[in-house]
Amino acid sequence: MQLRNGLLTTLAAVALAGCATTPGPTARSNQDCTGKCLVTVESSGDVVPPTVYVTEGSGAEIRWQIRPWFVHFAEMPGIEFQESDNGTKVFTNCRRDGWREFVCTNGGTPGKYKYTVRLLGREPVDPWVVNR
């Protein structure tokens, strides 16, 4: 019995030590997409990928989806793009699709566009979309 308890204690200690040394998330790579793009928004507000590179962007749909499901986009605007340098809006028809998804249509004008993600109870984050 003593040997069994010792073995169980040792196995539990090894399992907990393994959890403690498991590395956290690493730097995420950026994403290239054509047509429809899917961007994951984590509960912390971090966006995966941090930069989306879009080829053939005209008319492309970009969809942001929150994971896990207990976090929601803030009231409008949950996703907000800054205007381009000449004052035109490249990303249009931005709308919330339920509490956990947001969709915008990409006009496709080449350039680098900063946008803001707003979640309820979280600080806003400002990632990028690059139209090629």
Q: What CATH number does residue 78 fall under? A: 2.60.40.420
- Residue 126's domain comprises 28-131
Whether residue 123 is contained in a domain is answered as yes
Q: Which residues neighbour 85 within 8 Å (Cβ) at sequence distance 6 or greater? A: 111
Q: What is the pLDDT of residue 75?
A: 77
Whether residue 10 is contained in a domain is answered as no
pTM for the predicted model, two decimal places? 0.72
Q: What is the pLDDT of residue 29?
A: 56
pLDDT, averaged in runs of 10, over the chain (132 residues) = 46 34 38 84 88 84 88 85 81 87 91 92 92 88
Q: What is the pLDDT of residue 116?
A: 93
Whether residue 84 is contained in a domain is answered as yes
Q: What is the pLDDT of residue 17?
A: 35
Whether residue 4 is contained in a domain is answered as no
Using CB atoms within 10 Å of the CB of residue 41, give its burial: 0 to 12 exposed, 13 to 18 middle, 19+ buried. buried
Whether residue 43 is contained in a domain is answered as yes
Q: What is the pLDDT of residue 7?
A: 38
Q: What is the pLDDT of residue 22?
A: 29
Q: What is the pLDDT of residue 26?
A: 31
Using CB atoms within 10 Å of the CB of residue 27, give its burial: 0 to 12 exposed, 13 to 18 middle, 19+ buried. exposed
In one-letter notation, the amino acid at residue 57 is: G
Q: What is the Cα–Cα distance from 122 to 22, expressed in whole angstroms? A: 26
Whether residue 12 is contained in a domain is answered as no
Whether residue 11 is contained in a domain is answered as no
57 within 8 A of 35, measured Cβ to Cβ: no
Report strand pairing: 37-42 vs 47-48: antiparallel
Whether residue 19 is contained in a domain is answered as no
When divided into structural domains, the chain yields a total of 1
